[in-house]
């Protein structure tokens, strides 16, 4: 379902979190990479 301002993410460790649509692209890409070694930082 559409949410204003972002999206709800479900993480592999079982927790969920709302992520803003204004997240930095490099942080977003780091969250989506399984084994790229990126450190996503705060989001």
User: In the structure encoding, which two tokens stand for residue 31, read together?
Assistant: 């969250």
Confidence (pLDDT) at 43 = 62
Does the pTM surpass 0.75? The reply is: no
Confidence (pLDDT) at 36 = 66
Burial state string for 7-29 with b = 16 or more CB within 10 A and e = fewer than 16:
eeeeeeeeeeeeeeeebeeeeee
Burial state string for 32-42 with b = 16 or more CB within 10 A and e = fewer than 16:
eeeeeeeeeee
Instruction: Output the tens digit of pLDDT for each of the chain's 43 residues.
Output: 678 899 898 888 888 999 998 988 888 887 777 776 766 667 6
Whether the Cβ atoms of residue 30 and residue 42 lie closer than 8 Å to each other: no
10 three-state secondary structure: strand
Confidence (pLDDT) at 40 = 67
Confidence (pLDDT) at 16 = 92
């Amino acid at each position: 379902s559409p949410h204003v301002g972002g999206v709800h993410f479900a993480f592999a460790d079982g927790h969920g979190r709302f992520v803003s649509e204004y997240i930095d692209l490099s942080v977003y890409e780091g969250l989506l990479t399984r084994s790229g070694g990126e450190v996503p930082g705060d989001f």
